[in-house]
Copies of this chain bind each other. A is one copy, B any other.
């Protein structure tokens, strides 16, 4: 029991960043509502990328009365807390990264539709190039670069 807190029943429950959300919100004068709980419950079971549209659908599975505008607004709040981060996929559609470990940009092949995460070193090269150019501080997590992947170039 080195790092994780043991729990009475003997099971191991990994401390999740989601566990403290309600308290964190209240501590900022924000509120913990059933709608927000629904979305957080949905997010709990997601790793990686999800579109906003899919999140709305998942919420509606749990609560038929889910409203898009509420979900979008809650996602904004959670993004302020760093719990999710959004970028834009093909067509500009919003794409959320749940519990982003490290910020990264994306590549999108217009020919085959595949997407990749930009590797850290490559991302750093981009950030550095623009910092050197105009002292611009790139928000890598919001970057989606389109083009053609190696396979589609033939």
| Residue total for A at the interface (Cβ-Cβ under 8 A) | 30
Contact with B along A118-132 (1 / 0, CB 8 A): 110010011001101
Q: Does A60 contact B (CB under 8 A)?
A: no
Task: Give Cα A136 to B149, complex, Å.
Answer: 5
Q: Is the CB of A137 within 8 A of B148?
A: yes
Q: Is the CB of A136 within 8 A of B129?
A: no
Q: Does A139 contact B (CB under 8 A)?
A: yes
Q: Does A69 contact B (CB under 8 A)?
A: no
Task: Give Cα A42 to B142, complex, Å.
Answer: 33
Q: Does A134 contact B (CB under 8 A)?
A: yes
Q: Is the CB of B134 within 8 A of A116?
A: yes
The smallest beta-carbon distance between A97 and chain B, in angstroms, is 16
The smallest beta-carbon distance between A112 and chain B, in angstroms, is 12
Please tell me which one of the listed residues B118, B125, B139, B143 contacts residue A125 in the complex, with CB atoms under 8 A apart. B125
Task: Give Cα A149 to B130, complex, Å.
Answer: 10
Please tell me which one of the listed residues B118, B133, B134, B148 contacts residue A133 in the complex, with CB atoms under 8 A apart. B118
Select from chain B the residue with minimum beta-carbon distance to A133. Answer: B122
Please tell me which one of the listed residues B107, B130, B139, B149 contacts residue A118 in the complex, with CB atoms under 8 A apart. B130
Task: Give Cα A130 to B121, complex, Å.
Answer: 10
8 A-B contacts (beta carbon < 8 Å): A107-B136, A119-B133, A122-B130, A122-B132, A130-B145, A130-B147, A135-B153, A139-B147
The smallest beta-carbon distance between A89 and chain B, in angstroms, is 11
